[in-house]
Amino acid sequence: MVETSDIRVVRCGGSKVNLTPPIISSDSRFVLCTSGDLVKVYSTRTEEWLHSLQGHTNQVTGITLNPANHLQVYSCSVDGTVKLWDFIDGILIKTFVIGCPLFAIYVSEKHTGVLFLHVSMATDSKNECFQLVSVHLPKSAEQEVEAKEMSAVSSHISKNPSCTAFGRGSVSETCMSMVIFISFFSLCSFSLKATDKKGAKNAFTCIACHPTDDCIATGHEDGKIRLWRNFIHKKEYTYSTQHWHHNAVNTLCFTPEGTHLLSGGIESVLVQWQYGADNRKEFLPRLGGSILHISASSDGQLFCTSHSDNKITVIESSFKVCGVIQGLVKGDAVLTDLMIDPRSKALVLNGKPGHLQFYSLLRDKHLYNLDIVQQEYIYEAGLDQFEVVKAAFDIKGSWLATVEERGKKSSDLEFFLKLWAFDERTQSFVLNTTITAAHTDRIISMCFSSSEETTMLVTAAEDSQFKAWCQGADADTQQDQNFWSCDFVGSYHKLNPTNCSFSADSSLLAVSFQEVITIWSPDTWEMLTTLCQPPGVIRDLCFGRLSCSKYLLGTTTKNLLCCWNLLTCELEWSTSVDVSKLQPDPFSENVAAFSYQSKHTDLFVFKPSEPRPLFTNKNVCSEKVHRAVFVPREEPLNSCDESTQWLNRSQLYFLTQNMDLLTFSTATEEDRMLSSSKQLVIDDSVAVTPFYLLLGKHRQQQQKLNTQSHPVSDKPQQTQGSVTIKELLHTPAHVLPAASVLCSMFVNSFLISNTGETLQEEMDSEKEEEDSEEEMEACDSQQELRAQGSVDEVTPKLSKAQERELKRVRKTDFSWMAGLIDSKP
Amino acid sequence: MASFKPTKVQFLPKLGEKVTEDTLYWKNYKSPVQIKEFGAVTKIDFSPLAPHNYAVTASTRIHVYGLHSQEPIRSFTRFRDTAYGGSFRGDGKLLVAGSEEGLIRLFDICGRVALRQFTGHSKAVHVTSFLSDGFRVVSGSDDLTCRVWDVPSAVELSSITEHTDYIRALAPSKLNPDLFVTGSYDHTVKVFDMRSGSSVMTMQHGHPVECVLLYPSEALLVSTGGRYVKIWDLLKGGQELVSLKNHHKTVTCACLSSVGNKLLTGSLDRHVKVYNSSYKVVHNFDCDASILSMAVAPDDEVVAVGMTNGVLSVRHRKHKKDKETLTSRRRRGPSYRVFVKGKNFVPRQDDFLVSKPVKQYLRKYDKQLKSFEVSKALDTALQMWTRTSKPEVTVAVIIELNRRGTLKNALAGRNEESLTKILNFLLKHIFDPRFSRPLLTVGDIVLDLYRQVLHQSPVVERQLQRLMEVLGREAELQQELLQVLGILDTLFASLTPRKEVLWEEHCPMSLNNHCVSVSSVSADVCRI
């Protein structure tokens, strides 16, 4: 097993699912949405992520159902290709290479074989100029086709895909700031203008076409919806205005029958207008973030809204929410640190306004939102809302401390410090204490003590104080409520603290005051020593772990990374690096430092005991990194290569300024992922047939076998079987030979060819080792495995368990098979 | 889809008194029954026998009341001058009382005419009592003598003159028939033993003694006089145990509760204080006039207090039984059966279950906030009942409106009446540190909005004048406080040895902020 020490940066889960309108399959069973480079398929009933369509190499920008075949879907991407998928099985059918970045895709039922695409007009210029082009898809049997036949339909259109709509009779409208172009194919094209220009805010924001009527609905910036009619007769168009939204209408959608119009905006209220009876409307309020897109299924039974908080809501036609698909909410800024919930190992950061979100990185799934602010959220632009700005877990995950804040200016700053206890019964956090005036100014830093026995919280604020909070019952009230109260208030020369950190055994507390680090003993609240390394304000502070716990690391604004030895209270070493984020790994001695220099970020991983870095990665990304976290692995990797060793126990995730969540992955890891995904695809593609039952049983046995003894070396075995199985499954039924011919081959494929000798041996030794072989086997196989790993053997050795299994298969009576074959005509 | 989240009302913990079992016990009395007597009530004594009637000495009469009666069941009116110190014998059948003219009379509880009259004192007799054998009566008089009388023969057994001023307090021992304690205006408390015929112990109270009291164990002695209540340990030869100074006028009476031997003291400052076993005040009864006498019935069923204006105020203990009957009478709702109906229905296996949506209950202001009716929500929050009894609810609605950015809209367009309501609320609560921040913003907005039209309404103008006055006063006060803090800081700085740890309270900063905002608003008011 040759280990390539290649570590590369990978974009991991949590990409946007709300970029484009989601589409619902015609049988209403699946919802498809774009997510980064993938198209994800979700079930509408269970909200589960079923599988994803993998193949694009850049951001997918649009998906649409193939009007000719409702089981196929077109997707377009910035990488310049349009791909046709079978979305139920997740198979790529065709790739059309267009050649330039694509931004949206539309199809029209009247024009089969034609796609409408948004492309950028001027490739170099920065101002966003787009044009709508139609592309004729060439008919060819090849997998990858180049489509060259392009014709421009209209130019100077808005980038927003909701500004383009297709209706009955292939009307296509696109709108830009004040004008609508309506172009009839080969007939005429004319424009509608927003005529009343008194209010300056009536620019178009979205458009929708009635499916059966000659009617266009447009949404405006001031919240009005206009229904335009009669536009075919040249000048004499009429329109009616409806107003409910108080802000811009983000999206409009007609139901497939055209009886209702759906609209949504920043208020996060889905409004259903009855077509014809204009003032009859229904509301569905408080859906989440502001509504970005609405789409309806072809039978009109389901609606989908996608929201700004990276969410898709599935709504029944009776206006009831029946499902929520939630992605990782990243918003404009992550205010809290990236954290790991010690219990669920989920990534925790602030999500939708006033909430903390728990996101499982392993399954790439949103677990739940914890409501911190507990106030009604008002959807209004420019309103100063409460936001969760700080959060911290204690080491066991039984306490959570949060700080919520409102008020940008310090004069009307409001903030609360809240402490949450984990409730075992409900498996969630329950509010324990709210502290209204914890400090007189903004809280800058917050940390829990890391000892197991006593939990203590330390907060440092801009009022030049730090406070220690302890959990303790008040003796006088005689009620054993364990709420939190202030234990100690400390300050140092009226300087503003910048950071606080507990040592690994929480026997020491380090608080940095501008340029000075003070070391305190939390037991007696005595200041032990001060460390000072002028010049520069301390930016980051952390203690070493495990064997390096005697070191304290600090970074300053003057591009200095310093390491102090706490036994001698002297500076051990310092280097000149501009560190933007210092992140210690809680499971090893390693510390990761991200440094930002001349438009790219470098990563250094080092041990505090030695100034030489273990691992350096230049140019990780082009933006500054402010948040990073080490996530413990479920099962540690056992790579012994020096440069990848630091990733054995935990994985480093970091967040760039563009809100991309990135991670490092090693080659071994990717191999493992790839093999598992291959297996999955085959499993999924098998339908439930008698064959499947037979096969599935066999596979399960095999897998069980593998997990028991041979986790790694199952490949040679598998190949032989799977060739036959594949052949059997992927050849069309009418070309297959008769079942009687296949059967023997099929059954043979289950067996391993060179088993003669081993079986013989087995027969002999069987009686002796019947009793006490289990443990021996286990260690035997492990030894074998290790030997294999080192010598890199190719031929597989069968474990005893496998051999016995084989023997059993051999002994089983297959005569029923003959009966089956005979019964066939 | 989340449901509407109601406005969060913050309940901040109340500072000050903690609720303990003692306070709960002493709070559990009904409001007092007032009985008018003819003059100042100088003595109340409970009969030790079962119906626990009590004798009230006031003016020239002694009335005997039943525990629950408001009319006297018996009265002794054969006094020519003011009667003093009517007290029962240990079996509750005889009553003895002194008088202004120096006569001591002995009554049968059932009779009207005095059975015996003891003559000998030359001045008023303020205190009389039976000794614990029941055959002798002891009396203390303004002629500086203490005399012991024999009941059957009505002769004086002995006369002791040791005090140098009026004797106004007397307590016989219940354990030894030969011992009694007297207190006098000569600032001393003396313990007399009839066997030796003289005092055996003398304690200096330091003030004219108004009342002496022995604990049931008779190891501790309580004396009151001046503003002080002193507890003496008799077993240690009259050593002073505690000296309490909780009243701000002369303490006139003291008594012990029979449950847990809690000490109660009454004073001319119109308060009755209840002490716990470590002599901390746990409860306080307020009365209308200066208190002269007080007594507690056995089992603490009744606390009777006599005052200078001749009013006897009687407090009865609440019982659970009473409460139950009260509530059951008040509630006229549907019977239990109505609520239970259908609740215990168990669905069968093939039944199709339709779950009923749980209706969220919202307060009226929340309903209005939900439909964005901000002005109406503020009106609801400013309703009389909410405003007076739950100001935190009103403030919570104000904070919520401010958070939504619609506080200005809610405050705008009000008439004189509703504006007065808001200003009244401001006047009352603007200095509560819990509420001052949001209320100062309200004040600011009100001034901004109504600056032009303020002069049209004299009522509003007067209120603003008052607001300005109180704000100015508050600002001054806070400035003074800051000065004091500054002085303290320098003191602390000079006192603490050179050490880096600085202990300081966080109030100066907050006070400072508060002061600045207060002065800014008051400056605003001044401009107008």
3-state secondary structure A601-663: EEEEEECCCCCCEEEEEEEEECCCEEEEEEEECCCCCCCCCCCCHHHCCEEEEEEECCCCEEE
Among the partner residues A286, A476, A492, nearest to B18 by beta-carbon distance: A476
* Rounded CA separation B482/B505 (Å): 13
Of the candidates A760, A763, A746, A753, the residue with the CA atom closest to the CA atom of residue A698: A746
* Rounded CA separation B344/A123 (Å): 72
Q: Is the ipTM of this complex over 0.90?
A: no
Among the partner residues A287, A383, A436, nearest to B10 by beta-carbon distance: A436
Helices (H), B301-359: 320-330, 336-340
- Which residue of A303, A375, A464, A519 to mutate against B (max B Cβ within 10 Å)? A375
Other residues' Cβ atoms within 10 Å of the Cβ of residue A233: 9
Q: Give the gap in angstroms from C-alpha A401 to the nearest C-alpha of chain B.
A: 19
User: Which pTM value belongs to this model?
Assistant: 0.66
C-beta of residue B315 within 8 angstroms of C-beta of residue B297: no
Q: Is B12 helix (H, G, I), strand (E, B) or coil?
A: coil
Chain A residues within 8 Å of chain B (Cβ atoms)? 284-288, 313, 321, 374-376, 378, 380, 383-386, 406, 434, 436-437, 439-440, 463, 465, 476-478, 489-492, 525-527
Closest CA in chain A for residue B509: A440
* Rounded CA separation A109/B144 (Å): 123
* Rounded CA separation A576/A558 (Å): 8
The rounded Cα B454 to chain-centroid distance in angstroms is 44
* Rounded CA separation A492/A466 (Å): 9
* Rounded CA separation B411/A557 (Å): 48
Among the partner residues B405, B503, B510, nearest to A383 by beta-carbon distance: B405
* Rounded CA separation A637/A646 (Å): 10
In this prediction, what percent of chain B has a pLDDT beyond 70? Answer: 90
Residue A386 with chain B: CB contacts under 8 Å:
403
Other residues' Cβ atoms within 10 Å of the Cβ of residue A243: 12
Other residues' Cβ atoms within 10 Å of the Cβ of residue B217: 10
Residue B20 with chain A: CB contacts under 8 Å:
476, 478
* Predicted local confidence at residue B296, as pLDDT: 92
Residue B4 with chain A: CB contacts under 8 Å:
286, 376
* Rounded CA separation B22/B262 (Å): 10
Q: Give the gap in angstroms from C-alpha A490 to the nearest C-alpha of chain B.
A: 7
3-state helix, strand, coil in chain B (%, to 5): 30, 30, 40
C-alpha distances (whole Å) from B16 to each of A313, A476, A666, B19, B391 are: 51, 12, 63, 10, 19
Q: Are the Cβ atoms of A491 and B3 closer than 8 angstroms?
A: no
B146 bridge partner residues: B140, B160
* Rounded CA separation B427/B468 (Å): 10
C-alpha distances (whole Å) from A260 to each of A23, A139, A249, A307, B16 are: 18, 38, 16, 21, 62
Regions of chain B where pLDDT drops below 70:
1-2, 13-18, 321-333, 497-528
| Torsion of Cα atoms, A163 then A167 then A170 then A176, to 10° | -20
Q: Are the Cβ atoms of A287 and B19 closer than 8 angstroms?
A: no
Following DSSP, what letter does each residue of A500-521 receive, concatenated?
EEE-TTSS-EEEEETTEEEEEE
User: A513-539: buried (b, 16+ CB within 10 Å) or exposed (e) per residue?
Assistant: bbbbbbbbebeeeebeeebebeebebb
Regions of chain A where pLDDT drops below 70:
1-6, 12-14, 121-129, 153-163, 166-201, 231-235, 278, 331-332, 381, 409-411, 473-481, 534, 640, 669-724, 727, 730-735, 752-798, 812-825
**Counting one residue from A and one from B, how many pairs have CB atoms under 8 Å apart?**
65
Q: Give the gap in angstroms from C-alpha A320 to the nearest C-alpha of chain B.
A: 9
Q: Which two tokens stand for residue B450?
A: 């109504």
- Which residue of A376, A474, A496 to mutate against B (max B Cβ within 10 Å)? A376
Among the partner residues A321, A476, A478, nearest to B1 by beta-carbon distance: A321
C-beta of residue B238 within 8 angstroms of C-beta of residue B216: no
Helix A715-730 and helix A739-750, axial crossing angle in degrees, nearest 10: 170
Q: Give the gap in angstroms from C-alpha A287 to the nearest C-alpha of chain B.
A: 5
Residue B503 with chain A: CB contacts under 8 Å:
489
Residue A465, judged by CB atoms within 10 A of its CB (0-12, 13-18, 19+), counts as: buried
Among the partner residues B18, B370, B513, nearest to A440 by beta-carbon distance: B513
* Rounded CA separation A822/A824 (Å): 5
Q: pLDDT, tens digit, for every residue of B13-51?
A: 666 666 777 888 888 888 899 999 888 999 999 998 888
Q: Which two tokens stand for residue A717?
A: 């075995």
Other residues' Cβ atoms within 10 Å of the Cβ of residue B357: 5
Strands A144-146 and A91-97 come out as parallel
Q: Are the Cβ atoms of A286 and B2 closer than 8 angstroms?
A: yes
Cβ-Cβ contacts under 8 Å for B370 (sequence gap 6 or more): A376, B4, B362
C-beta of residue A23 within 8 angstroms of C-beta of residue A31: yes
Chain B residues within 8 Å of chain A (Cβ atoms)? 1-8, 10, 12, 18-20, 369-370, 400, 403-405, 500-504, 506, 509-510, 513
Closest CA in chain B for residue A526: B501
* Predicted local confidence at residue A690, as pLDDT: 62
Strands of the sheet containing B239-244, edge to edge, are B209-214, B220-225, B228-233, B239-244
Q: Is B156 helix (H, G, I), strand (E, B) or coil?
A: strand
* Predicted local confidence at residue B98, as pLDDT: 92
Following DSSP, what letter does each residue of B218-252 receive, concatenated?
SSEEEEEETTEEEEEETTTTSEEEEEE---SS-EE
Tell me the one-letter amino acid at A451. Answer: S
Of the candidates A178, A236, A174, A168, the residue with the CA atom closest to the CA atom of residue A207: A174
Among the partner residues A463, A476, A491, nearest to B502 by beta-carbon distance: A491
Among the partner residues B370, B400, B501, nearest to A490 by beta-carbon distance: B501
Q: Which two tokens stand for residue B361?
A: 């209950």
Among the partner residues A288, A321, A440, nearest to B506 by beta-carbon distance: A440
DSSP 8-state secondary structure symbol assigned to residue A479: -
Closest CA in chain B for residue A284: B1
Is the backbone of residue A619 left (phi > 0), alpha (psi -120 to 50) or beta? Answer: left
- Which residue of B501, B510, B514 to mutate against A (max A Cβ within 10 Å)? B501
* Predicted local confidence at residue A717, as pLDDT: 43
Q: Give the gap in angstroms from C-alpha B365 to the nearest C-alpha of chain A.
A: 14
Following DSSP, what letter does each residue of A189-258 receive, concatenated?
EEEEE----SSTT--EEEEEE-SSSSEEEEEETTSEEEEEE-TTSTT--EEEEEE--SS-EEEEEE-TTS
Closest CA in chain A for residue B1: A287
* Rounded CA separation B100/B123 (Å): 7
Residue A725, judged by CB atoms within 10 A of its CB (0-12, 13-18, 19+), counts as: buried
Q: Are the Cβ atoms of A440 and B19 closer than 8 angstroms?
A: no
